Amino acid sequence: MCQLLGMNCNTPTDIVFSFEGFRLRGGLTDSHADGFGIAFFEQHGIRLLQDDKPCARSPVADLVQQYKIKSENVIAHIRKATQGQVSLANTHPFVRELWGEYWAFAHNGHLRGLNKIDGEYFNPVGNTDSENALCYLLENLRQRFRYKPSRDDLFATIAEITKQLRKYGLFNFMLSNGDWLLAHASTLLFYIIRKAPFGEAALVDEDVSIDFSAVTTPHDRVAVVATLPLTCNEKWQQLAVNELVMFSQGEIILRDCEQPAEYLSVAEGLSIARQAGVEM
Amino acid sequence: MCQLLGMNCNTPTDIVFSFEGFRLRGGLTDSHADGFGIAFFEQHGIRLLQDDKPCARSPVADLVQQYKIKSENVIAHIRKATQGQVSLANTHPFVRELWGEYWAFAHNGHLRGLNKIDGEYFNPVGNTDSENALCYLLENLRQRFRYKPSRDDLFATIAEITKQLRKYGLFNFMLSNGDWLLAHASTLLFYIIRKAPFGEAALVDEDVSIDFSAVTTPHDRVAVVATLPLTCNEKWQQLAVNELVMFSQGEIILRDCEQPAEYLSVAEGLSIARQAGVEM
């Protein structure tokens, strides 16, 4: 299994602080040592940085830290390979173009028994369950809609396809088209929305803190989503089991959640992952 | 207009020496100061590095130099914007997935009057003539072939679609799917095939030389393609006007050329570009 990190904001923001803690989970504080990838949307363009070196020691990750790329939507992934060999073609996030937009996708979990799709429109290049799931999702969207539908119809359709896919196993994922960020939890996914008045945050993984009030304006709103909370002195919210959430402009605008909502403890989430035969 | 650089080899090779001269054309020795991009295939995976900073001063280009990524197929592009604003979505190379393979494309030239396509399968994200041409090409390939055809059929079909597209203007381009590299010249494109016995090469753009015999094995074969020759002490071959060439494993395996073949001098090539209203 792997760890996910996402960001959605109302103004281009650099992800350096969150990424700093996150990347240490790639080989130093944690065991996710099989490469990493990060996708930054800059308006509708996309910048994808990936490395098969462990994230904590990757020169590509150094570039992310140094370059302070500002983006409204980011998806990052640290990989512990459980299916498919370690190669660039198997490194998340995966990107495709649909309806004249780039879509980026990263997955944490393991889907068993989903056949490799033979898509009219989308086919996987590598051999991971994750890229196959993205192609399944996009293929179904494109089969359904020749042109991009309304946001509500799109969300409802993605929720429906997600229900089909999660029958195959653990399906924590993030997906973005540069406008919005979708997050879906099978087990563990947490988010925080930072807005004025901004305070200080301290990383869980390293002795580093930041005073957001010094680097923001009062209008900024930034949602950060991660497999596990990245800071130790802020209150992170948890996604319920099988909940799908759409973030736009740094806030939640749509959600699809089973009732009653079920929340796993971190210990339960890790245990379910282990029972499914995947490391986390 | 812009400059192109491509490489196709029979063994993963780093492009640092060629890229060193090429990147200096992005803002130091030449005026191509509107960003750059480079796509490296690693088997069928693709690594795409782009920057809207001038290539000569870009930290992303520094990473390319330092990291010495080894690849069998590379396409790089330095941009002087003539159409579409400077943005990440308008930065070459452009990438799409077709038949479960990534395809990367970079264009040097200017196509006028080609309508923005309304593709079933492929649509542009940005607003350049170049990305639109790639989508036109892939759309036509996919409309024609549900599954990947033989290499000969593929080459013949791309040659046919290229003939349609070059009616719209200057269409120097490179295209790769990770197996082969295609190069097409409207005006200026040169190549060299380096193989044993390897000698020394000296860059045109900088006082740097390399002894390839020290960094190769006798079986290595490396084709390098560029808008203008990159070295001053090797014999570069020129592509004819309207010639399409397929490189595989560091050699030419297919070519499509009008008879009699016409070759432009560098001065003529630059003049035609200027008359077409594009800088080079």
Q: What is the DSSP string of B30-84?
A: SS--S-EEEEEEETTEEEEEEESS-GGG-HHHHHHHHH--EEEEEEEEE---SSS
Can you read off the two tokens belonging to residue B168?
Answer: 């719209």
The SS3 assignment for A224 reads strand
**Contact B124/A50, CB-based, under 8 Å?**
no
Strand order in the sheet with A70-78: A45-51, A36-42, A70-78, A3-14, A221-226, A190-195, A237-238
In a domain, A280, yes or no: no
- Which of A49, A60, A121 is opposite residue B121, by nearest beta carbon? A121
> Cα–Cα distance between A1 and A80 in angstroms, integer?
6
Please give the single-letter amino acid code of residue B191. Y
In a domain, A157, yes or no: yes
In a domain, B280, yes or no: no
pTM exceeding the 0.90 threshold for the entire prediction: yes
> Cα–Cα distance between B131 and B139 in angstroms, integer?
12
Nearest chain A residue to B69, by CA:
A51
**Contact B44/A90, CB-based, under 8 Å?**
no
The SS3 assignment for A229 reads coil
What's the pLDDT tens digit per position in B141-153? 999 999 999 999 9
Q: Which of A101, A125, A132 to mutate to test the interface with B (most CBs of B within 10 A)?
A: A125
What's the pLDDT tens digit per position in B16-27? 888 887 877 765
State the pLDDT at residue B227: 94
State the pLDDT at residue B32: 53
Provide the CA A102 distance to its chain's centre, in angstroms. 15
What value of ipTM does the predicted structure carry?
0.92
**Contact A87/B43, CB-based, under 8 Å?**
yes
Nearest chain B residue to A50, by CA:
B47
In a domain, B60, yes or no: yes
Residue B128 at interface with chain A, using a CB cutoff of 8 Å: no
- Which of B45, B46, B96 is opposite residue A97, by nearest beta carbon? B96
Size of interface A-B (CB pairs under 8 A): 77
How many independent structural domains does chain B possess?
1
In a domain, A165, yes or no: yes
Q: What is the 3-state secondary structure (H, E, C) of A147-206?
A: CCCCHHHHHHHHHHHHHHHHCCEEEEEEEECCCEEEEEECCCCEEEEEECCCCEEEECCC
Q: What is the largest CA-CA distance in chain A?
A: 51
A2 is catalytic: yes
Residue A233 at interface with chain B, using a CB cutoff of 8 Å: no
A149, B125 in Cβ contact below 8 A?
no
Task: Map tokens 């060629």 to a residue.
Answer: B18
Q: What is the DSSP string of A43-104?
A: TTEEEEEEESS-GGG-HHHHHHHHH--EEEEEEEEE---SSS-SSGGGPSPEEEEETTEEEE
Rounded to the nearest angstrom, the minimum Cα separation between A35 and chain B is 13
Give the residue from B161, B188, B2, B187 showing the smallest Cα distance to B84: B2
CATH number for the domain spanning B162: value is 3.60.20.10
Rounded to the nearest angstrom, the minimum Cα separation between A101 and chain B is 5
Residue B48 at interface with chain A, using a CB cutoff of 8 Å: yes
Nearest chain B residue to A138, by CA:
B121
A83, A110 in Cβ contact below 8 A?
yes
N- to C-terminal Cα separation, chain A: 5
What's the pLDDT tens digit per position in B210-236? 888 888 899 999 999 999 999 998 999
Residue B115 at interface with chain A, using a CB cutoff of 8 Å: no
Give the residue from A202, A221, A154, A171 showing the smallest Cα distance to A7: A221
- Which of A66, A88, A99 is opposite residue B45, by nearest beta carbon? A88
State the pLDDT at residue B27: 56
Nearest chain A residue to B61, by CA:
A63
State the pLDDT at residue A53: 76
Extract the residue ranges of chain B whose pLDDT is less than 70.
Answer: 1, 26-34, 81-85, 278-280
Which residues, other chains included, contact A275 with Cβ-Cβ below 8 Å and sequence gap of 6+?
Answer: none
**Contact B45/A125, CB-based, under 8 Å?**
yes
Q: Which of B57, B71, B79, B88 to mutate to test the interface with A (most CBs of A within 10 A)?
A: B88
A124, A156 in Cβ contact below 8 A?
no
Residue B92 at interface with chain A, using a CB cutoff of 8 Å: no
Residue A127 at interface with chain B, using a CB cutoff of 8 Å: no
Mean pLDDT by 10 residues, chain A (280 residues): 88 88 68 78 92 78 84 90 73 96 96 95 96 98 98 98 97 97 97 93 85 90 95 94 98 96 93 78
Residue ranges making up the domain that contains A77: 3-275
Enumerate the β-bridge partners of residue A102: A97
**Which residues on chain B are in Cβ contact (under 8 Å) with A123?**
97, 99-100
State the pLDDT at residue A164: 97
In a domain, A21, yes or no: yes
In a domain, A50, yes or no: yes
What is the percentage of chain B residues whose pLDDT exceeds 70? 93
- CA dihedral over B111, B114, B115, B117, signed as positive or negative: negative
> Cα–Cα distance between A10 and A126 in angstroms, integer?
34
In a domain, B248, yes or no: yes
